[in-house]
Amino acid sequence: MALSQENRESWRDVVPVLLLIYIPPVGAILMWIISRWSSLTKWIITAVVIMQLGILGYTSFNVYKFVRYQKYFAPVLAVQQALDIYGIQNGKYPTKLTELVPKYIEEIPGDKSITYNQSEEGKNYSLKATVEGKEVELRPSFTQLPQRD
């Protein structure tokens, strides 16, 4: 059974569609070269591909910024966790961050401009730091420390 001319050339419509789905820039280029679609259809599909790439690029950049911020924020969170563990075990927070080393945290990050203030006779604290040029302030994770005898 011989294939008609139409069936033999249907690959010219199928290949660009598959490539547009899986590899947008390559699909757009091949669509312009081998497809039999009208120029209006080609321009519409090209615009859709450009919008997809723009959204993908914008989203990827924002994810990159978020991951980078989290990377630099993690040491500050480690200090907060160490403070909270110290508070649970001792019934109050330390007067200085150096009391956390080495039992609760290996070292206090020096590159974060961390400022620590104990308040309410050791029942509360304020932890301020600079992360990626932004000022952040952390408070205790717990609303009330356990009572120690």
115-119/134-138 β-pairing? unpaired
Q: Which of 1-5, 78-82, 133-137 has the highest mean pLDDT?
A: 78-82
**What pTM, to 2 d.p., does this model score?**
0.60
Give the confidence band of 44 by pLDDT, cuts at 50, 70, 90.
confident
Overall residue count recorded for the chain in this entry? 149
Both structure tokens of 9: 């050339």
How high does pLDDT run on average in the chain?
81
Contact 108, 99 (CB under 8 A): no
Distances (CA, A) of 89 to 8, 76, 84, 146, 149: 77, 20, 9, 8, 12
Q: Which residue has the higher pLDDT, 87 or 132?
A: 87
Q: Which residue has the higher pLDDT, 19 or 124?
A: 124
Both structure tokens of 6: 């139409």
Tens digits of residue pLDDT in 3-42: 555 555 566 666 666 666 667 777 777 778 877 888 898 8
Q: Domains in the chain, ordered, with CATH? A: 11-64 (no CATH), 69-138 (3.30.1300)
